[in-house]
Structure 1
Amino acid sequence: MNTIVEWVLDLMERIGGPGIALGILMENVFPPIPSEVILPLAGFTASQGRYSPAEAVLWATLGSVLGAIVLYGIGAALGLDRLRLIAKKMPLVDVADVDKADTWFTKHGPKAVFFGRFIPGVRSLISIPAGIDRMPMTTFIGFTTAGSLLWNSLFVWIGYQLGGRYHLVEEYMDPISKVVYVLIIIAVLATVAWMARRSMRRQRDPDDVVDLDTD
């Protein structure tokens, strides 16, 4: 982590605001790089007069949007039809599961993209189903920009206020992030368990099939 911080700080010192954008773009594409480190660091460098806090937020948001577009493109390249073919070859998964997830995302996608920007882990990956669903690019960029702008503004401002103590943000956010990751893992395991039970029910009685609620 220290290496990442040093690398990002070097970018900011060498090229200024574009270094923030590049660091956040990398954070989007490679989620293990935490924005909770990069953004307060950008606020700290802004407090040193290298650029204004507003410039730091704008550059960070540009990086967020560009990174999200990269992941959207991966999802679009995968596509719904290819995802259905993959689902056919996967144990426990039905093509109907893919269709229901797509229907849900078509209905709730903009909200998922917006609020997903505030959730560790989900913040980056939410762009992939948006690409699979082929969410209109203007809608995707609009909600991505809005959510990212709020998130980036908060952490840049905190880093600006803390100055040289910007690292305290990571110390406080790390436990929260770990709790979120644990909840995500539990949700995934619960889903797998539900699919396994469904598969066993079908083996016992092919007519006894309970589908997910599509609401």
Structure 2
Amino acid sequence: MEALGAPGAGAAIALENLFPPLPSEVILPLAGFTASQGGMSLAAALVWTTIGAVVGAWLLYGLGALLGRERLHAIAGRLPLVKVSDIEKTERWFERHGAKAVFFGRMIPVFRSLISVPAGVTRMSQPMFLLLTTLGSALWNAIFVIAGYRLGENWERVTDLVGVYSKGILAVVALAVVAFVVYRVMRPGAGKRRV
């Protein structure tokens, strides 16, 4: 982190948006710890990690916009157990709750990255998307960078605590996916393909 500096921390967070297995819960507290040791300023760590988060999210927004509704529907039509009507319901939900989803989604592991794609598909206003992404990312980043800064050499305690939160979120998602698959397979007429 000292070698990369604050711009490097921002680049790592941009990559974390594109490749969710890279954990921001490790990068951010480590940036805070590095700032506490004088390797960068706390303000630079906060600014650059937020810039990185916004850049990564904006690239995924662009991917969603490039994909578009028709392609998304065509892909959904080919997936087992998924119907185009599922995607349409998700789009309608996003059009009603998109602003909240983008802002609060920045604080939920995995969704932090994925929420940018439906924003692009539904062509959410880019200025609004960028504003909500900046605010949500700045809040999330500040919590972890400042925690790493204050904990100093014990910065790894942050990752231990957040690991429980992340695992809880992933467990809920896994249960929801299993419930969805069981529902689709077990319901009457499941063998018939409907669009």
TM over 0.5, shorter chain: yes
Residues 2-39 of structure 1 deviation map (CA, whole Å, 9 limit, x = unaligned) = xxxxxxx2xxx234211111111111111111111000
**Which of 192, 195, 198 is residue 181 of structure 2 equivalent to?**
192
- In structure 1, the partner of 2:169 is 180
1:17-166, aligned counterparts within 5 Å?
A: 17-166=6-155
Unaligned runs of 5+ in 2: none
Distance (Å, rounded) in 2 between the aligned partners of 1:165 and 1:17: 20
Distance (Å, rounded) in 2 between the aligned partners of 1:196 and 1:140: 37
Deviating beyond 3 angstroms after TM superposition, the runs of 4 or more aligned structure 1 residues are 201-204
**Which of 198, 201, 204 is residue 189 of structure 2 equivalent to?**
201
Aligned in 2, Cα 1:203/1:157: closer, same or farther, shift over 3 Å?
closer
- Normalising by structure 1, we get a TM-score of 0.84
Residues 77-131 of structure 1 deviation map (CA, whole Å, 9 limit, x = unaligned) = 2111111112222333222221111111111111111111111111111111111
Residues 144-192 of structure 1 deviation map (CA, whole Å, 9 limit, x = unaligned) = 1110010001111100001111111111211221111011111122222
Q: Secondary structure at the match of 2:40?
A: coil
Q: Secondary structure at the match of 2:189?
A: helix
Which protein has the larger Cα radius of gyration, Structure 1 or Structure 2? Answer: 1
Distance (Å, rounded) in 1 between the aligned partners of 2:127 and 2:68: 19
RMSD after superposition:
1.9
Distance (Å, rounded) in 1 between the aligned partners of 2:103 and 2:122: 16
Distance (Å, rounded) in 2 between the aligned partners of 1:46 and 1:165: 14
Which piece of structure 1 moves more, 16-25 or 186-195? 186-195
Residues 61-82 of structure 1 deviation map (CA, whole Å, 9 limit, x = unaligned) = 0000001011111111211111
Deviation at 1:54, TM superposition (A): 1.7
Deviation at 1:202, TM superposition (A): 6.3
User: How many residue pairs were aligned?
Assistant: 194
- In structure 2, the partner of 1:6 is none
What is the identity, as a one-letter code, of the residue corresponding to 1:81? E
Deviation at 1:138, TM superposition (A): 0.7
Aligned in 2, Cα 1:161/1:203: closer, same or farther, shift over 3 Å?
closer
- Normalising by structure 2, we get a TM-score of 0.92
Distance (Å, rounded) in 1 between the aligned partners of 2:92 and 2:124: 12
What is the identity, as a one-letter code, of the residue corresponding to 1:149? A
Aligned in 2, Cα 1:98/1:34: closer, same or farther, shift over 3 Å?
same
Distance (Å, rounded) in 1 between the aligned partners of 2:80 and 2:36: 53
